[in-house]
């Protein structure tokens, strides 16, 4: 973090939201911090409606060089649905401390997702292999106000314009395509 007079200026960090067709379709939130990608799986994907809570399952950290990956992984096709930068909200400037406390407020500067978001850990049991968090959009100028609108439906494709089918067809050997195409048409 840099200081500019009395105003704090944060260094922007890479951010990505992936659309991943694994066992079931879900989205993966990736926030770069300390050389790794902090990762959460969102079974329903993000919502731009302020106050609407989405479950976010904490996953193992990923290598930061995978931030812009789009292609087919052994678990299934992965779409780069959104990308940009993020910074902690001033109340969460101690990112490590915020993560330990289970509350991380941050600002996204993505191509699709923008504004302030809040991650709150809901289970703190040491007996679970993965912590469950809630992801919620703050009420800000970027929050969606129309109940019938859904960014996931309005902008389903990659930031490169590709569909999941395009990603699979451009990646997998022809003999392997049939299985993935059947799964794509079932979704």
**Average pLDDT score over residue span 73-96:** 95
Within 27-106, residue ranges assigned H as helices are: 95-101
Work out the burial of residue 132: count CB atoms within 10 Å of its CB; fewer than 13 is exposed, 13-18 middle, 19 or more buried.
middle
Task: Give residue-wise pLDDT tens across range 129-163.
Answer: 789 999 999 999 999 988 889 999 999 999 999 99
Residue 145, CA distances (Å) to 110, 141, 149 in order: 19, 10, 8
Residue 179, CA distances (Å) to 18, 174, 183 in order: 21, 10, 7
pLDDT, averaged across the chain: 87
Task: Give residue-wise pLDDT tens across range 45-69.
Answer: 999 999 999 999 999 999 999 999 9
The pTM for the full model equals 0.85
Q: Taking the domains of the chain in order of start, what are their residue ranges?
A: 2-173
């Amino acid at each position: 973090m840099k200081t500019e007079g009395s105003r704090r200026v944060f260094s922007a960090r890479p951010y990505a939201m992936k659309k991943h067709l694994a066992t079931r379709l879900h989205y993966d939130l990736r926030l770069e911090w300390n050389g790794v990608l902090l990762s959460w799986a969102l079974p329903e994907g993000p919502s731009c409606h302020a106050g609407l809570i989405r479950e976010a399952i904490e996953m193992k950290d990923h290598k930061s060089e995978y931030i812009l990956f789009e292609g087919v992984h052994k678990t299934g096709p992965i779409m780069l649905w959104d990308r940009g930068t993020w910074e902690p909200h001033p109340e969460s400037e101690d990112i490590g401390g915020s993560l330990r406390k289970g509350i991380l407020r941050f600002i996204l500067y993505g191509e699709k997702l923008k504004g302030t978001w809040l991650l709150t850990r809901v289970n703190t049991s040491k007996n679970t292999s993965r912590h469950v968090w809630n992801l919620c959009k703050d009420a800000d100028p970027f929050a969606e106000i129309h109940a019938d609108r859904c960014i996931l439906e309005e902008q389903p494709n990659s930031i490169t314009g590709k569909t999941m089918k395009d990603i699979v067809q451009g990646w997998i050997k022809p003999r392997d395509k049939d299985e993935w195409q059947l799964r794509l048409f079932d979704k």
